[in-house]
Protein backbone atom coordinates (compact mmCIF):
# COMPACT_ATOMS: atom_id res chain seq x y z
CA UNK A 1 0.00 0.00 0.00
CA UNK A 2 3.02 2.25 0.35
CA UNK A 3 4.71 4.33 -2.32
CA UNK A 4 7.86 6.07 -1.19
CA UNK A 5 10.60 8.23 -2.59
CA UNK A 6 12.35 11.47 -1.89
CA UNK A 7 15.64 12.72 -0.55
CA UNK A 8 17.13 15.86 0.99
CA UNK A 9 18.21 16.98 -2.47
CA UNK A 10 14.71 16.52 -3.86
CA UNK A 11 15.90 14.03 -6.50
CA UNK A 12 13.65 11.08 -7.23
CA UNK A 13 14.67 7.65 -6.03
CA UNK A 14 13.27 4.36 -7.07
CA UNK A 15 10.53 2.62 -5.15
CA UNK A 16 12.90 0.19 -3.44
CA UNK A 17 14.93 3.05 -2.01
CA UNK A 18 11.74 4.77 -0.89
CA UNK A 19 10.59 1.67 0.96
CA UNK A 20 13.97 1.45 2.65
CA UNK A 21 13.65 5.06 3.77
CA UNK A 22 10.24 4.43 5.29
CA UNK A 23 11.46 1.29 7.04
CA UNK A 24 14.24 3.40 8.51
CA UNK A 25 11.66 5.93 9.63
CA UNK A 26 9.61 3.16 11.27
CA UNK A 27 12.71 2.01 13.17
CA UNK A 28 13.33 5.58 14.32
CA UNK A 29 9.70 5.80 15.49
CA UNK A 30 10.20 2.53 17.36
CA UNK A 31 13.20 4.05 19.11
CA UNK A 32 11.29 7.18 20.12
CA UNK A 33 10.98 9.51 17.12
CA UNK A 34 7.98 11.75 17.74
CA UNK A 35 5.51 12.11 14.88
CA UNK A 36 3.05 15.00 14.72
CA UNK A 37 0.25 16.22 12.47
CA UNK A 38 0.14 19.73 13.98
CA UNK A 39 2.95 21.81 12.48
CA UNK A 40 2.74 24.27 15.40
CA UNK A 41 3.87 21.59 17.83
CA UNK A 42 6.81 20.31 15.81
CA UNK A 43 10.14 20.31 17.64
CA UNK A 44 13.56 20.07 15.93
CA UNK A 45 14.28 16.58 14.63
CA UNK A 46 10.65 15.38 14.63
CA UNK A 47 8.49 14.01 11.82
CA UNK A 48 5.55 15.91 10.32
CA UNK A 49 2.76 14.00 8.56
CA UNK A 50 0.81 16.15 6.11
CA UNK A 51 -2.66 14.71 6.64
CA UNK A 52 -5.29 14.84 3.90
CA UNK A 53 -8.27 17.11 4.49
CA UNK A 54 -10.98 19.20 2.90
CA UNK A 55 -11.25 22.47 4.82
CA UNK A 56 -7.67 22.17 6.12
CA UNK A 57 -4.83 20.38 4.29
CA UNK A 58 -1.65 19.24 5.96
CA UNK A 59 0.23 20.15 2.78
CA UNK A 60 -0.36 23.82 3.48
CA UNK A 61 1.52 23.57 6.78
CA UNK A 62 4.68 21.86 5.57
CA UNK A 63 6.59 25.20 5.44
CA UNK A 64 5.66 25.91 9.07
CA UNK A 65 6.74 22.39 10.10
CA UNK A 66 10.07 22.93 8.37
CA UNK A 67 10.54 26.29 10.05
CA UNK A 68 10.00 24.57 13.40
CA UNK A 69 12.69 22.01 12.64
CA UNK A 70 10.96 18.99 11.13
CA UNK A 71 13.57 16.49 9.96
CA UNK A 72 11.12 14.22 8.13
CA UNK A 73 7.97 15.01 6.15
CA UNK A 74 5.44 12.37 5.07
CA UNK A 75 3.32 13.73 2.22
CA UNK A 76 0.80 12.41 -0.34
CA UNK A 77 2.27 10.72 -3.38
CA UNK A 78 -0.12 12.76 -5.53
CA UNK A 79 1.50 15.99 -4.31
CA UNK A 80 5.12 15.01 -5.00
CA UNK A 81 5.72 17.81 -7.51
CA UNK A 82 4.23 20.36 -5.12
CA UNK A 83 6.10 19.20 -2.03
CA UNK A 84 9.58 18.51 -3.41
CA UNK A 85 10.50 22.17 -4.10
CA UNK A 86 9.23 23.20 -0.65
CA UNK A 87 11.17 20.54 1.23
CA UNK A 88 14.32 20.67 -0.93
CA UNK A 89 17.36 20.05 1.31
CA UNK A 90 15.60 20.99 4.56
CA UNK A 91 14.24 17.52 5.40
CA UNK A 92 13.72 14.02 4.08
CA UNK A 93 10.43 13.79 2.17
CA UNK A 94 8.67 10.43 2.06
CA UNK A 95 5.64 10.05 -0.18
CA UNK A 96 2.67 7.80 0.55
CA UNK A 97 -0.61 7.11 -1.21
CA UNK A 98 -2.38 7.91 2.10
CA UNK A 99 -0.44 9.73 4.84
CA UNK A 100 -3.22 8.90 7.32
CA UNK A 101 -2.36 5.21 6.94
CA UNK A 102 1.35 6.01 7.23
CA UNK A 103 0.62 7.78 10.53
CA UNK A 104 -1.00 4.61 11.84
CA UNK A 105 2.04 2.54 10.91
CA UNK A 106 4.35 5.05 12.60
CA UNK A 107 2.17 5.16 15.70
CA UNK A 108 2.16 1.38 15.85
CA UNK A 109 5.96 1.33 15.62
CA UNK A 110 6.32 4.04 18.27
CA UNK A 111 3.92 2.62 20.87
CA UNK A 112 3.97 -1.08 19.88
CA UNK A 113 0.48 -1.55 21.36
CA UNK A 114 -0.27 -4.66 19.38
CA UNK A 115 2.85 -6.34 20.68
CA UNK A 116 1.67 -5.93 24.27
CA UNK A 117 -1.10 -8.52 24.42
CA UNK A 118 -4.11 -6.23 24.84
CA UNK A 119 -7.43 -7.29 23.32
CA UNK A 120 -9.16 -4.61 21.25
CA UNK A 121 -12.92 -4.38 20.62
CA UNK A 122 -14.31 -1.80 18.16
CA UNK A 123 -17.96 -0.74 18.12
CA UNK A 124 -19.51 1.14 15.20
CA UNK A 125 -23.08 1.94 14.22
CA UNK A 126 -25.48 4.87 14.26
CA UNK A 127 -27.02 4.22 17.66
CA UNK A 128 -26.14 2.15 20.71
CA UNK A 129 -22.34 2.39 20.64
CA UNK A 130 -21.97 4.07 24.03
CA UNK A 131 -24.48 1.91 25.88
CA UNK A 132 -22.99 -1.24 24.39
CA UNK A 133 -19.48 -0.17 25.43
CA UNK A 134 -20.65 0.39 29.02
CA UNK A 135 -22.39 -2.99 29.13
CA UNK A 136 -19.32 -4.81 27.78
CA UNK A 137 -17.14 -2.99 30.30
CA UNK A 138 -19.43 -4.09 33.15
CA UNK A 139 -19.62 -7.66 31.88
CA UNK A 140 -15.86 -8.10 31.50
CA UNK A 141 -14.99 -6.29 34.72
CA UNK A 142 -17.45 -8.47 36.63
CA UNK A 143 -15.58 -11.50 35.25
CA UNK A 144 -12.33 -10.18 36.72
CA UNK A 145 -10.82 -8.50 33.67
CA UNK A 146 -9.31 -5.02 33.69
CA UNK A 147 -11.09 -2.90 31.07
CA UNK A 148 -10.41 0.40 29.31
CA UNK A 149 -12.88 2.41 27.20
CA UNK A 150 -12.46 5.10 24.54
CA UNK A 151 -15.94 6.48 23.95
CA UNK A 152 -18.29 9.39 23.49
CA UNK A 153 -18.56 10.21 27.19
CA UNK A 154 -14.91 9.84 28.23
CA UNK A 155 -11.69 7.87 27.93
CA UNK A 156 -11.17 5.73 31.04
CA UNK A 157 -9.56 2.74 32.68
CA UNK A 158 -8.93 1.90 36.34
CA UNK A 159 -7.09 4.84 37.87
CA UNK A 160 -7.59 7.21 34.91
CA UNK A 161 -10.42 9.23 33.33
CA UNK A 162 -10.64 12.23 31.00
CA UNK A 163 -13.52 13.85 29.12
CA UNK A 164 -13.78 12.85 25.47
CA UNK A 165 -13.52 15.74 22.98
CA UNK A 166 -14.24 13.28 20.12
CA UNK A 167 -15.98 9.88 19.97
CA UNK A 168 -12.81 8.55 18.34
CA UNK A 169 -9.64 10.63 18.97
CA UNK A 170 -6.88 11.18 16.43
CA UNK A 171 -4.70 8.27 15.40
CA UNK A 172 -1.57 9.10 17.40
CA UNK A 173 -3.64 9.78 20.53
CA UNK A 174 -5.46 6.44 20.17
CA UNK A 175 -2.18 4.56 20.12
CA UNK A 176 -0.87 6.59 23.05
CA UNK A 177 -4.02 5.97 25.10
CA UNK A 178 -3.90 2.24 24.36
CA UNK A 179 -0.20 2.21 25.29
CA UNK A 180 -1.05 3.84 28.62
CA UNK A 181 -3.85 1.33 29.15
CA UNK A 182 -1.45 -1.52 28.70
CA UNK A 183 1.03 0.07 31.10
CA UNK A 184 -1.87 0.00 33.60
CA UNK A 185 -2.30 -3.74 32.88
CA UNK A 186 -5.61 -3.37 31.04
CA UNK A 187 -6.70 -6.69 29.52
CA UNK A 188 -9.36 -5.47 27.07
CA UNK A 189 -9.80 -2.06 25.41
CA UNK A 190 -13.24 -1.13 24.06
CA UNK A 191 -13.41 1.63 21.48
CA UNK A 192 -16.34 3.45 19.91
CA UNK A 193 -15.37 3.89 16.26
CA UNK A 194 -17.24 6.60 14.37
CA UNK A 195 -17.81 6.61 10.62
CA UNK A 196 -15.71 9.79 10.39
CA UNK A 197 -12.82 8.05 12.17
CA UNK A 198 -12.98 5.09 9.82
CA UNK A 199 -13.17 7.23 6.70
CA UNK A 200 -10.25 9.34 7.94
CA UNK A 201 -8.19 6.27 8.96
CA UNK A 202 -7.94 7.40 12.59
CA UNK A 203 -7.74 3.72 13.60
CA UNK A 204 -4.91 2.94 11.16
CA UNK A 205 -2.18 0.72 12.55
CA UNK A 206 -4.61 -1.16 14.81
CA UNK A 207 -6.04 -4.66 14.54
CA UNK A 208 -9.26 -5.58 16.32
CA UNK A 209 -10.01 -8.84 18.07
CA UNK A 210 -13.73 -8.10 17.66
CA UNK A 211 -15.83 -5.60 15.76
CA UNK A 212 -19.50 -4.80 16.42
CA UNK A 213 -22.06 -3.23 14.10
CA UNK A 214 -25.05 -2.02 16.13
CA UNK A 215 -27.15 -0.63 13.23
CA UNK A 216 -27.04 1.73 10.26
CA UNK A 217 -29.67 4.46 10.06
CA UNK A 218 -29.56 8.00 8.69
CA UNK A 219 -26.86 10.23 10.16
CA UNK A 220 -23.87 12.26 8.99
CA UNK A 221 -25.03 12.43 5.36
CA UNK A 222 -23.65 15.96 5.29
CA UNK A 223 -20.23 14.28 5.42
CA UNK A 224 -20.75 10.93 3.65
CA UNK A 225 -23.15 12.13 0.93
CA UNK A 226 -25.60 9.22 1.00
CA UNK A 227 -26.45 6.07 2.93
CA UNK A 228 -24.22 3.89 0.75
CA UNK A 229 -21.21 6.07 1.50
CA UNK A 230 -22.11 6.03 5.20
CA UNK A 231 -22.42 2.24 5.23
CA UNK A 232 -19.20 1.83 3.28
CA UNK A 233 -17.36 3.79 5.97
CA UNK A 234 -18.87 1.65 8.75
CA UNK A 235 -18.00 -1.53 6.87
CA UNK A 236 -14.30 -0.62 6.89
CA UNK A 237 -14.05 -1.78 10.51
CA UNK A 238 -14.92 -5.30 9.35
CA UNK A 239 -13.23 -5.43 5.96
CA UNK A 240 -10.00 -3.45 6.31
CA UNK A 241 -8.78 -4.58 9.72
CA UNK A 242 -8.52 -8.34 9.22
CA UNK A 243 -6.91 -9.91 12.28
CA UNK A 244 -6.75 -13.69 12.30
CA UNK A 245 -9.88 -15.12 13.97
CA UNK A 246 -11.29 -11.63 14.49
CA UNK A 247 -14.97 -11.86 15.45
CA UNK A 248 -17.28 -9.68 13.33
CA UNK A 249 -20.40 -9.31 15.49
CA UNK A 250 -23.24 -7.87 13.41
CA UNK A 251 -26.89 -6.98 14.01
CA UNK A 252 -28.92 -9.38 11.83
CA UNK A 253 -32.13 -7.40 12.38
CA UNK A 254 -30.61 -4.51 10.43
CA UNK A 255 -30.74 -4.70 6.58
CA UNK A 256 -27.22 -3.29 6.28
CA UNK A 257 -26.12 -5.74 8.95
CA UNK A 258 -27.41 -8.69 6.92
CA UNK A 259 -25.60 -7.35 3.87
CA UNK A 260 -22.38 -7.07 5.84
CA UNK A 261 -22.76 -10.61 7.19
CA UNK A 262 -22.64 -11.86 3.61
CA UNK A 263 -19.55 -9.79 2.79
CA UNK A 264 -17.12 -10.39 5.65
CA UNK A 265 -15.40 -13.40 7.17
CA UNK A 266 -15.90 -14.71 10.71
CA UNK A 267 -19.35 -13.11 10.87
CA UNK A 268 -21.47 -13.70 13.96
CA UNK A 269 -25.04 -12.43 13.86
CA UNK A 270 -27.01 -11.18 16.83
CA UNK A 271 -30.60 -10.07 17.10
CA UNK A 272 -34.12 -10.69 18.29
CA UNK A 273 -36.44 -13.20 16.68
CA UNK A 274 -36.28 -16.26 14.46
CA UNK A 275 -33.08 -16.65 12.45
CA UNK A 276 -34.61 -18.87 9.76
CA UNK A 277 -35.24 -16.13 7.21
CA UNK A 278 -31.95 -14.46 8.13
CA UNK A 279 -29.98 -17.67 7.56
CA UNK A 280 -31.59 -18.01 4.14
CA UNK A 281 -30.19 -14.57 3.32
CA UNK A 282 -26.75 -14.66 4.98
CA UNK A 283 -25.90 -18.37 5.12
CA UNK A 284 -24.99 -20.63 8.00
CA UNK A 285 -23.40 -18.05 10.31
CA UNK A 286 -23.29 -18.47 14.10
CA UNK A 287 -26.15 -16.49 15.67
CA UNK A 288 -26.64 -15.05 19.15
CA UNK A 289 -30.42 -15.07 19.27
CA UNK A 290 -32.49 -13.18 21.83
CA UNK A 291 -36.09 -13.36 22.97
CA UNK A 292 -37.65 -10.77 25.26
CA UNK A 293 -39.57 -12.67 27.95
CA UNK A 294 -40.86 -9.61 29.82
CA UNK A 295 -40.38 -5.85 29.92
CA UNK A 296 -41.53 -3.15 32.33
CA UNK A 297 -40.41 0.30 33.38
CA UNK A 298 -38.18 -1.44 35.94
CA UNK A 299 -36.30 -3.62 33.46
CA UNK A 300 -36.49 -6.73 31.31
CA UNK A 301 -35.82 -10.45 31.14
CA UNK A 302 -34.17 -11.90 28.04
CA UNK A 303 -33.56 -15.44 26.88
CA UNK A 304 -30.33 -15.78 24.90
CA UNK A 305 -29.37 -18.75 22.71
CA UNK A 306 -26.04 -19.55 21.06
CA UNK A 307 -24.73 -22.80 19.54
CA UNK A 308 -27.35 -25.00 21.19
CA UNK A 309 -27.18 -23.41 24.65
CA UNK A 310 -29.78 -21.09 26.18
CA UNK A 311 -29.76 -18.94 29.30
CA UNK A 312 -31.84 -16.16 30.84
CA UNK A 313 -30.64 -12.77 32.04
CA UNK A 314 -32.32 -9.95 33.94
CA UNK A 315 -31.45 -6.31 33.37
CA UNK A 316 -32.68 -3.00 34.83
CA UNK A 317 -32.55 -1.57 31.30
CA UNK A 318 -35.72 -1.36 29.26
CA UNK A 319 -36.59 -1.07 25.57
CA UNK A 320 -36.01 -3.36 22.60
CA UNK A 321 -33.00 -1.27 21.55
CA UNK A 322 -31.38 -1.98 24.92
CA UNK A 323 -32.15 -5.67 24.47
CA UNK A 324 -30.07 -5.47 21.29
CA UNK A 325 -27.25 -3.75 23.16
CA UNK A 326 -27.32 -6.50 25.80
CA UNK A 327 -27.15 -9.18 23.09
CA UNK A 328 -24.18 -7.50 21.39
CA UNK A 329 -22.34 -7.33 24.71
CA UNK A 330 -23.00 -11.00 25.41
CA UNK A 331 -21.74 -11.92 21.93
CA UNK A 332 -18.47 -10.11 22.65
CA UNK A 333 -18.18 -11.73 26.05
CA UNK A 334 -18.58 -15.18 24.54
CA UNK A 335 -15.86 -14.48 21.97
CA UNK A 336 -13.49 -13.31 24.72
CA UNK A 337 -13.91 -16.47 26.74
CA UNK A 338 -16.85 -15.74 29.05
CA UNK A 339 -19.57 -18.35 29.59
CA UNK A 340 -23.33 -18.18 30.13
CA UNK A 341 -22.96 -18.01 33.90
CA UNK A 342 -20.89 -14.84 33.56
CA UNK A 343 -23.91 -13.16 31.92
CA UNK A 344 -25.74 -13.10 35.27
CA UNK A 345 -23.77 -9.99 36.22
CA UNK A 346 -25.88 -7.97 33.74
CA UNK A 347 -28.62 -7.76 36.38
CA UNK A 348 -26.34 -5.35 38.29
CA UNK A 349 -25.57 -3.05 35.36
CA UNK A 350 -26.57 0.46 36.54
CA UNK A 351 -27.15 2.11 33.18
CA UNK A 352 -25.34 4.81 31.19
CA UNK A 353 -25.19 8.56 31.87
CA UNK A 354 -27.57 10.36 29.53
CA UNK A 355 -29.05 7.21 28.00
CA UNK A 356 -32.70 7.03 29.06
CA UNK A 357 -31.49 8.36 32.39
CA UNK A 358 -34.14 9.24 34.95
CA UNK A 359 -33.75 12.67 36.55
CA UNK A 360 -34.48 12.21 40.24
CA UNK A 361 -36.49 15.17 41.56
CA UNK A 362 -38.43 16.24 44.66
CA UNK A 363 -41.78 16.22 42.85
CA UNK A 364 -41.30 12.62 41.70
CA UNK A 365 -41.99 13.59 38.09
CA UNK A 366 -41.13 10.96 35.46
CA UNK A 367 -38.46 12.83 33.50
CA UNK A 368 -35.77 11.20 31.37
CA UNK A 369 -32.82 12.62 29.44
CA UNK A 370 -31.45 10.76 26.44
CA UNK A 371 -28.73 11.32 23.85
CA UNK A 372 -31.07 10.43 20.95
CA UNK A 373 -30.23 12.80 18.11
CA UNK A 374 -31.15 10.78 15.01
CA UNK A 375 -34.60 9.82 13.68
CA UNK A 376 -34.06 6.15 14.52
CA UNK A 377 -32.80 6.83 18.06
CA UNK A 378 -35.77 9.11 18.74
CA UNK A 379 -38.08 6.43 17.39
CA UNK A 380 -36.61 3.79 19.69
CA UNK A 381 -36.58 5.73 22.92
CA UNK A 382 -40.07 7.16 22.44
CA UNK A 383 -41.45 3.74 21.50
CA UNK A 384 -40.02 2.36 24.73
CA UNK A 385 -41.61 5.04 26.90
CA UNK A 386 -44.90 4.84 25.02
CA UNK A 387 -45.18 1.11 25.77
CA UNK A 388 -44.94 1.74 29.52
CA UNK A 389 -47.87 2.74 31.72
CA UNK A 390 -47.65 6.50 31.38
CA UNK A 391 -50.64 8.72 30.57
CA UNK A 392 -48.99 11.03 28.02
CA UNK A 393 -45.56 11.41 26.45
CA UNK A 394 -44.06 14.90 26.19
CA UNK A 395 -40.89 15.12 24.08
CA UNK A 396 -38.43 18.02 24.02
CA UNK A 397 -36.05 17.89 21.06
CA UNK A 398 -33.89 19.96 18.77
CA UNK A 399 -31.51 19.39 15.85
CA UNK A 400 -27.80 20.10 15.70
CA UNK A 401 -26.51 22.99 13.63
CA UNK A 402 -23.96 22.60 10.82
CA UNK A 403 -25.01 18.97 10.40
CA UNK A 404 -27.24 16.90 8.10
CA UNK A 405 -30.24 19.15 7.38
CA UNK A 406 -32.16 16.32 5.70
CA UNK A 407 -32.67 14.48 8.98
CA UNK A 408 -34.31 17.47 10.74
CA UNK A 409 -37.89 16.96 9.45
CA UNK A 410 -37.42 13.20 9.88
CA UNK A 411 -36.60 13.69 13.56
CA UNK A 412 -39.70 15.85 13.89
CA UNK A 413 -41.82 13.20 12.18
CA UNK A 414 -40.58 10.62 14.69
CA UNK A 415 -41.62 12.91 17.54
CA UNK A 416 -45.01 13.55 15.92
CA UNK A 417 -45.67 9.80 15.69
CA UNK A 418 -45.24 9.20 19.40
CA UNK A 419 -45.45 12.38 21.47
CA UNK A 420 -48.74 13.72 22.78
CA UNK A 421 -46.94 17.03 23.19
CA UNK A 422 -43.93 17.95 21.03
CA UNK A 423 -41.64 20.72 22.27
CA UNK A 424 -39.31 22.00 19.56
CA UNK A 425 -36.21 23.90 20.67
CA UNK A 426 -32.47 24.17 19.98
CA UNK A 427 -29.75 21.58 20.57
CA UNK A 428 -26.23 22.66 19.62
CA UNK A 429 -26.97 25.31 16.96
CA UNK A 430 -23.26 25.97 16.39
CA UNK A 431 -22.99 28.64 13.68
CA UNK A 432 -26.64 28.46 12.58
CA UNK A 433 -29.56 30.48 13.95
CA UNK A 434 -31.72 28.25 16.17
CA UNK A 435 -34.82 29.66 14.48
CA UNK A 436 -33.57 28.49 11.06
CA UNK A 437 -32.88 24.99 12.36
CA UNK A 438 -36.35 24.85 13.92
CA UNK A 439 -37.85 25.99 10.62
CA UNK A 440 -36.21 23.01 8.88
CA UNK A 441 -37.69 20.60 11.44
CA UNK A 442 -41.14 22.16 11.73
CA UNK A 443 -42.76 20.54 8.64
CA UNK A 444 -42.26 17.14 10.26
CA UNK A 445 -44.52 18.15 13.16
CA UNK A 446 -47.56 18.72 10.93
CA UNK A 447 -49.40 15.71 12.41
CA UNK A 448 -48.35 16.22 16.02
CA UNK A 449 -51.34 16.50 18.41
CA UNK A 450 -49.87 19.51 20.21
CA UNK A 451 -46.73 21.55 19.54
CA UNK A 452 -44.87 24.02 21.73
CA UNK A 453 -41.80 25.94 20.56
CA UNK A 454 -39.04 28.08 21.99
CA UNK A 455 -35.47 28.55 20.69
CA UNK A 456 -34.03 28.80 24.22
CA UNK A 457 -33.56 25.25 25.54
CA UNK A 458 -33.94 26.16 29.24
CA UNK A 459 -37.20 27.95 28.51
CA UNK A 460 -38.45 25.03 26.42
CA UNK A 461 -37.71 22.56 29.22
CA UNK A 462 -39.54 24.80 31.70
CA UNK A 463 -42.52 24.95 29.31
CA UNK A 464 -42.53 21.15 29.04
CA UNK A 465 -42.48 20.64 32.81
CA UNK A 466 -45.30 23.18 33.23
CA UNK A 467 -47.28 21.11 30.73
CA UNK A 468 -46.93 17.89 32.76
CA UNK A 469 -49.97 16.36 34.45
CA UNK A 470 -50.21 13.43 36.85
CA UNK A 471 -49.10 10.23 35.11
CA UNK A 472 -47.20 11.96 32.28
CA UNK A 473 -43.62 11.19 31.24
CA UNK A 474 -41.21 13.79 29.85
CA UNK A 475 -38.37 12.90 27.47
CA UNK A 476 -35.65 15.49 26.86
CA UNK A 477 -33.74 14.24 23.85
CA UNK A 478 -30.55 15.15 22.06
CA UNK A 479 -27.88 16.02 24.60
CA UNK A 480 -27.91 13.24 27.18
CA UNK A 481 -24.62 13.36 29.12
CA UNK A 482 -23.38 16.58 27.49
CA UNK A 483 -22.90 19.53 29.84
CA UNK A 484 -22.62 22.30 27.26
CA UNK A 485 -24.24 23.99 24.29
CA UNK A 486 -22.31 25.26 21.29
CA UNK A 487 -23.86 28.56 20.21
CA UNK A 488 -22.38 30.93 17.65
CA UNK A 489 -18.92 29.45 18.04
CA UNK A 490 -18.96 29.60 21.84
CA UNK A 491 -19.17 26.75 24.34
CA UNK A 492 -21.73 27.54 27.05
CA UNK A 493 -22.28 25.43 30.15
CA UNK A 494 -25.62 23.65 29.89
CA UNK A 495 -26.88 20.37 31.32
CA UNK A 496 -30.36 19.01 30.62
CA UNK A 497 -30.43 17.45 34.10
CA UNK A 498 -29.54 20.75 35.76
CA UNK A 499 -32.02 22.54 33.52
CA UNK A 500 -34.76 20.17 34.70
CA UNK A 501 -34.02 20.81 38.36
CA UNK A 502 -33.94 24.58 37.78
CA UNK A 503 -37.24 24.40 35.89
CA UNK A 504 -38.89 22.36 38.65
CA UNK A 505 -37.82 24.89 41.23
CA UNK A 506 -39.16 27.71 39.05
CA UNK A 507 -42.54 26.03 38.46
CA UNK A 508 -43.21 24.97 42.07
Calculate mean pLDDT across residues 314-326.
93
- The domain spans of the chain are 15-109, 114-348, 357-507
Answer whether CATH 3.30.360.10 is correct for domain 357-507: no
pLDDT value of position 381: 94
Q: How far apart are CA 479 and CA 398, in angstroms?
A: 9
pLDDT value of position 279: 82
Q: How confident is the model at residue 278 (pLDDT cuts 50, 70, 90)?
A: confident
Fold of 15-109: 3.40.1390
Q: How confident is the model at residue 3 (pLDDT cuts 50, 70, 90)?
A: very low
Q: Do domains 15-109 and 114-348 have the same CATH topology?
A: no
Residue with the larger pLDDT of the pair 42 and 77:
42
Q: How far apart are CA 292 and CA 34, in angstroms?
A: 51
Q: How far apart are CA 268 and CA 332, in angstroms?
A: 10
Closest residue by Cα to residue 428 from 492, 498, 503: 492
pLDDT (tens digit per residue) in 235-256: 999 998 877 789 999 999 999 9
Q: Domain 114-348 - what CATH class?
A: alpha beta
Q: How far apart are CA 10 and CA 333, in angstroms?
A: 53
Residue with the larger pLDDT of the pair 296 and 365:
365
Q: How confident is the model at residue 18 (pLDDT cuts 50, 70, 90)?
A: low
Q: How far apart are CA 96 and CA 315, in angstroms?
A: 49
pLDDT (tens digit per residue) in 287-308: 999 999 999 878 899 999 999 9
Cα 255 to Cα 63, 262, 277, 278, 379, distances in angstroms: 48, 11, 12, 10, 17
Instruction: Tell me, yes or no, if the pTM score tops 0.85.
Output: no
Closest residue by Cα to residue 458 from 489, 491, 501: 501
Amino acid sequence: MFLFSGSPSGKNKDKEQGVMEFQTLLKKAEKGLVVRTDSRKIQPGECFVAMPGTAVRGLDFIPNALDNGAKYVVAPESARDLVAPVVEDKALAIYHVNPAVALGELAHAHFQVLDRDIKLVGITGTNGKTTTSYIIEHLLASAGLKVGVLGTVNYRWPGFQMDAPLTTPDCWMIHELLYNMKKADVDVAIMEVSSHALDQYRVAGLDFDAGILTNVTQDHLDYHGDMEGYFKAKAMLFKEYPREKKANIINYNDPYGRLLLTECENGIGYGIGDTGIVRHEVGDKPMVQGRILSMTGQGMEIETSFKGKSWTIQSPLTGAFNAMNLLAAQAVGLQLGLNCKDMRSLKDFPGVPGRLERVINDRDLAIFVDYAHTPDALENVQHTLKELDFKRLITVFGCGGDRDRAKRPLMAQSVARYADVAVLTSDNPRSERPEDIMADARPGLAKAPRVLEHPDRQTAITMAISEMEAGDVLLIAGKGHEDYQEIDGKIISFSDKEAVLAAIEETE
